[in-house]
Amino acid sequence: MIDLQYLISLFHAGLPIWILTGTGLVCLLTDGLWPKKGGTAVFIVGFLGMAVALFFAFRQWLSGETIAQDLLVSDKATRFFVILVIFIGLLHLLNSASYFRLLGKVSAGGSPAGRLGPAGRLGPAGDMVTLTLFAVVGMIFLFASDHLIVNFIGLETMSLAVYVMVGFNRRDVRSGEAAMKYYVMGSVASALLLYGIVLLYGAVGEFRLSEFHKVAIFPDTAFLPRIAVVLMLGGFFFKLALVPFHFWVPDVYEGAPTPVTGFMATGVKVAAFALFIRVLTALNYLPTAVVSQVLQICVILTLLVGNLAAIVQDNVKRMLAYSSISHAGYLLLGLSVGYQSGKFDPSVSSAVLFYLAGYSCMTLGAFAVLSVMVDEKREATQFADLTGLGYSRPVLAAVFSLFMISLLGVPPTVGFAAKYGIFSFAVKNGFIGLAVLGMITTVISAYYYLRPLVMMYFCGAPEKVKGGEIPFPLMLSLVFCAVAVILLGIWPLPYIDMAQKAATAFK
Amino acid sequence: MITIHHYLILSALLFTLGLLGVVIRKNLLIVLMSLEVLMNAINLLLIAVSRYLGRMDGHVVAFFIMTVAAAEAGIGLAIVVTLFRNRRTIKTTDWRIMGG
């Protein structure tokens, strides 16, 4: 017997997901039917589909009522993240559309691409749209359920799509190598996480996080959930690129096509943090007192290693990779201060949610700027390539400076508002040491965030004038990111309010 | 008499073997096989545990995990093929261009 009412409510609860999945399938068809268009038709279809999904996600956010349907959770927190993730997907589409256009132009007019160069040797551009859509669907499933196996399948959907995206420059050896590294590391991380989930299932007899408060732990098997939690944390730390498990990040971020790097640094991290908060909240019911210490040690290591290693990089993408590691450290700091006498208090996550939103805007913006930096044979993302950019392409340089300043956390931008939120929670909850460490490392980070500015404005004129045109889609995403960075910085209250509403859903 | 503990230990051993294989072996195909061993260790544990608990949901989940593992292997092989086309080698020692 089919319960029609049930199906209808399920349909409403996951409307953005169904739209995104459908659009992904349509994109596959479109790509097959009009292969000659170079992916333009697919980009338009994918963009529209995402925009519609965003509209419905926003309407769900406004409607307010919580719909929980079996394996699907649609509360305020989920909706907040759905909106954020779809935004990231949209910006990624814009960035990669321009990246392909630039690379196509370069390969058509320039010299024959070198063996290492990505120019003109990408996979079919339309596939990127489909993969993005499916990755976004995976991200949504990653946090829009309280059933750990559904979360895991979402994680895999997302990861599989991103592995392919990383290896998208098919003839570029660096891209392939990055894909392979990311694939092996990501698979091990998934396996660790899954092993933890299954052990937890063995210990408590439940896959559902919302049922954890009902389970009883027997003292003689109390070691099982501990092992399980350690394994799960290992998996999460891999995915979030926190320090003991960060060694793959710089290579993968450098080798991947620039827009994809932006997508990995934001989308994957946002989705994984969303699930992480959910899991931490549920773990309150298990005897896992050491988690808070583990998190704190991890925060300290991540902040130090991320910020110090970023100083010595000579590639902007590598620098941003370490910068994303240290930002993950600040985010984890925001979570680890939520522990009061061994229990995680999810109300601190409002600062983390706001930080995630701000971080996504500024990081995607920075990578959007780097997507334009394409030379004849390669992505021109060395620090030396920035020389004199302030004179040859003043607008681009100004916007890039804005994103760098925001990543550093200087007042009129969102970076400051976000960091202020995290540190004020840390001080309020008595974690003065962590807050001080965060501030010190922020000061250290000034060195590598201001270095691009020095290169662009104070290191003389560029050796040659590079092509000055910025494709329209990229202009759109740059303007959006820049406006968001400033708007969230000078008038953050509505968004902090949104984050607080979302954070109350974790319990 | 084979108890749940035997299965726990066996799957832990398999998992460790898989991890070692990923870390130590230099041939990418062997690395992929080790990843498969990881997934199968998990599946073994899952089946044993859900049988021990006397519940069916673990048995169903095992099929999902198999599907995921198959998809993962597919992607991995595709990446290996593209790598091989470019470099004519699938030894991990041969392609440390980026270093680190």
CA distance B24 to B38: 15
B98/chain A closest Cα distance in angstroms? 6
- Give pTM, 2 decimals: 0.90
Q: Class of the B4-94 domain?
A: mainly alpha
CB-based contact A117:A91 (threshold 8 Å): no
- Residue of chain B whose alpha carbon sits nearest to that of A164: B75
Kindly indicate the confidence band of residue A138, based on its pLDDT and cuts at 50, 70 and 90: very high
pLDDT of A108: 46
Reported as a pLDDT band with limits 50, 70 and 90, residue A263 is very high
Tokens coding B90: 């699938």
Comparing A85-89, A151-155, A277-281, B88-92, which segment has the lowest mean pLDDT?
A: B88-92
What is the nearest CA distance from A142 to chain B, expressed in angstroms? 14
pLDDT in tens, B39-80: 999 999 999 988 888 888 889 999 999 999 999 999 999 998
Confidence of residue A468 (pLDDT cuts 50, 70, 90): low
Banded pLDDT at A83 (limits 50, 70, 90):
very high
Contact: A198, B42; criterion CB under 8 Å:
yes
Which chain B residues are closer than 8 Å to A198 by Cβ? 42, 45-46, 49
Q: Which of B45, B86, B98 sits opposite A255 (nearest CB)?
A: B98
Rounded to a whole number of angstroms, the distance from the CA of B83 to the nearest CA of chain A is 6
What does the domain layout of chain B look like in residue ranges? Answer: 4-94
CB contact under 8 A, B53 and A202: yes
Query: Is the CB of A188 less than 8 angstroms away from the CB of B45?
Result: no
**pLDDT band for position A457 (50/70/90)?**
confident
**pLDDT cut 70: percent of chain B above it:** 91
Whether residue A302 contacts residue A242, with contact meaning beta carbons closer than 8 Å, is answered with yes
Torsional sign, CA A393, A395, A396, A397: positive
A142 or A288: which carries more pLDDT confidence?
Answer: A142
Best mutation target among A141, A195, A200 (most B Cβ atoms within 10 Å) is A195
Stretch among A28-42, A125-139, A387-401, B63-77 having the lowest mean pLDDT: A28-42
pLDDT at A288: 62
Cβ atoms of A20 and A136 closer than 8 Å: yes
The residue ranking higher by pLDDT, A53 or A216, is A53
Residue A270 pLDDT class (50, 70, 90 cuts): very high
Residue in A closest to B4 by C-alpha? A202
A68 pLDDT more than 80: no
- Over residues A34-56, the pLDDT tens digits come to 766 656 778 888 899 999 999 99
The yes-or-no verdict on residue A185 having pLDDT over 50 is yes
CB of A156 within 8 A of CB of B64?
A: no
pLDDT attached to residue B93: 66
- Given a contact cutoff of 8 angstroms between Cβ atoms, the answer to whether A75 and A66 are in contact is yes
CB contact under 8 A, B97 and A176: no
Q: Rounded mean pLDDT of A329-336?
A: 91
Q: How many CB pairs under 8 A join A and B?
A: 97
Q: Is B71 on the interface with A (CB under 8 A)?
A: yes
Q: Which residues in chain A have their CB less than 8 angstroms from residue B61's CB? A: 149, 207
Contact A26, A134 (CB under 8 A): no
Chain A contact for B73 (CB, 8 A cutoff) = no
Is residue B31 a contact partner of residue B73, using CB atoms and an 8 Å limit?
A: no
Nearest Cα of chain A lies from the Cα of B40 at a distance, in angstroms, of 10
Q: Give pLDDT, residue A77.
A: 86
CB < 8 Å to A199, chain B = 45
The confidence band for A465, taking pLDDT boundaries of 50, 70 and 90, is: low
CA A26 to chain B, closest CA, distance in angstroms equals 21
B79/A179 CB distance under 8 A: yes
Cβ A233 vs Cβ A287: under 8 Å: no
Residues of A in contact with B87 (CB under 8 A): 173
Interface pTM, i.e. ipTM: 0.93
Number of CB atoms found within 10 A of residue B99's CB: 7
| CB pair distance less than 8 Å for B18 and A149 | no
Question: Distance between CA atoms of A227 and A240, rounded to whole angstroms?
Answer: 20
Q: Residue B35 pLDDT more than 80?
A: yes
- What pLDDT shows up at residue A111? 36
- Chain A residues touching residue B8 (CB < 8 angstroms): 202
CB contact under 8 A, A171 and B86: yes
- For the cut 50, the answer to whether the pLDDT of residue A113 exceeds it is no
Q: Where are the domains of chain A?
A: 4-503
B53 interfaces chain A, CB cutoff of 8 Å: yes
For B79, counting Cβ atoms within 10 Å of its Cβ (0-12 exposed, 13-18 middle, 19+ buried), the class is buried
